[in-house]
Structure 1
């Protein structure tokens, strides 16, 4: 009888990924620049970048803040900016895809559930029609330094990854496989690393950013986790982050970078 592989916290996962991780460099390209993000929903938020630090302020409001940030780029003229901010006493994960070429952006706001939400059983959630994961993610589009107009952001939901089976090498010791099932779900398994033998099917969202470039976001239900990566199928690279509780006491949060060398294993073509 095979032993049951053990689920681990996001903090333990971060420790496993860290040694010799293939992470992309944290760029200083944005230092000294500022962008006003005009959201489709009407928000206007100025973001001012310095070396390693980001300041933001909401127009017509006293809301503002500062945070350290990570900025990376898998394609020229496009940056992934990631940071954490405090909102009503809770930590919010903010990931911005800044599309300088198209003067557009996509923002993903992620929130971890509280302990009571996490400890609710999956069966009860299924019976009430709730999502099985309690991790929340909001998606917003907008324009950079210009008023929003319909169609100003070219980033769109897509099914282009459906049927793809992809291999991700995050470090010499951490290797995963993804199978993209449909627009709502994907399956993953750890082939090598601290989660070796673990696998699941989780909620996901895929946006096409450019040709062969996708923003992929997933929300796990067993260990509350928000994952977000830009997948560049042309250059066989991915870059992003994983966000969740560092340990089982629902105290400290972990928000760590993940980058990989990725390759297509195969693609299934489904009959119409």
Structure 2
């Protein structure tokens, strides 16, 4: 008997996706070790101090020390990710552009979903780095709208994303344990540099959210780095892991100007 894909109670919990999903994760780097960064923005000052294994931070009214992973996205552009040791409902992503002197803090808070609220809420705080010459600010973007991108996370995990509007995107599993599943979820996108985007999403069926950063400058060889954060099957324990993917643009939708969802 075939599985009823429309019955969302059959969908895998977040930890069911994890085995092997991180096969295409990029190697981590220790380039940030020994450095301290002070970020200024509308949300007030934030500080981040890195050693080889841990980051000490104070941001958005919270502070702590935790193990971290850092990835090199492009020249002098880094993505760091960690899960708070003390506040298990908090995961943090930090984008540092040392060339342009800009940063983006994203705090992911995990709560209980309701009919009007998804489980993960994202707090976005762009800013500038003290001691660095400031370039173009990191800001929300409509640059992905209309693109359909195929993403390969491992030899057995593949998805496609269709970026619909400033609020919505559609995903479909092409290979892996979720093959055949699809949904439309909320997203928020920031442009970090021309062609490099932070893409975040918040799922309503599986209680989880994600923060990714991807280099789309070569549409045939897109590279992403990201993390997933959500509840386990019991709804009592947080699940947090990092991953990576290789992507390519497979089509582009062009609307008439008066119907363009990006405008």
TM score, norm. by length of structure 1: 0.85
- Assess, with a 3 A threshold, how the Cα gap between structure 1 residues 57 and 139 changes in structure 2: closer, same or farther: closer
SS of residue in 1 equivalent to 2:244: strand
Any conservation in 2 of the 1:94–1:110 contact (CA below 8 Å)?
yes
- Assess, with a 3 A threshold, how the Cα gap between structure 1 residues 138 and 263 changes in structure 2: closer, same or farther: same
The structural deviation recorded for 1:4 is 1.4
Aligned to 2:183: 200
Aligned to 1:4: 4
Aligned to 1:268: 253
Structure 1, unaligned stretches of length 5 or more? Answer: 126-130
Question: Equivalent of 2:31, from 29, 32, 46?
Answer: 29
Aligned to 1:55: 56
The structural deviation recorded for 1:250 is 2.1
Any conservation in 2 of the 1:105–1:153 contact (CA below 8 Å)?
no
SS of residue in 1 equivalent to 2:17: helix
SS of residue in 2 equivalent to 1:12: helix
The structural deviation recorded for 1:97 is 0.7
Any conservation in 1 of the 2:119–2:208 contact (CA below 8 Å)?
no
- Assess, with a 3 A threshold, how the Cα gap between structure 1 residues 58 and 202 changes in structure 2: closer, same or farther: closer
String of CA shifts for 1:128-150, please: whole Å, max 9, x gaps: xxx5x242111101121259xxx
1-side partners of 2:182 and 2:82: how far apart? 28
Question: Equivalent of 2:106, from 108, 112, 121?
Answer: 108
The structural deviation recorded for 1:28 is 0.6
Question: Equivalent of 2:120, from 120, 131, 135?
Answer: 135
Question: Equivalent of 1:99, from 63, 82, 97?
Answer: 97
String of CA shifts for 1:41-92, please: whole Å, max 9, x gaps: 22x2321111121112469x9x6421000100121111001112267x5521
2-side partners of 1:224 and 1:237: how far apart? 26
Matches within 5 A, 1:34-45: 34-42=36-44, 44-45=45-46
Q: Does 1:17 align with 2:15?
A: no
1-side partners of 2:63 and 2:248: how far apart? 41
2-side partners of 1:91 and 1:174: how far apart? 27
String of CA shifts for 1:197-229, please: whole Å, max 9, x gaps: 110000000111111111000000011111111
TM score, norm. by length of structure 2: 0.88
SS of residue in 2 equivalent to 1:69: strand
Aligned to 1:46: 47
Any conservation in 2 of the 1:183–1:205 contact (CA below 8 Å)?
yes
Structure 2, unaligned stretches of length 5 or more? Answer: 258-263
Root-mean-square deviation (CA, aligned residues, Å) is 2.2
The structural deviation recorded for 1:14 is 1.1
Matches within 5 A, 1:196-235: 196-235=179-218
2-side partners of 1:217 and 1:58: how far apart? 20
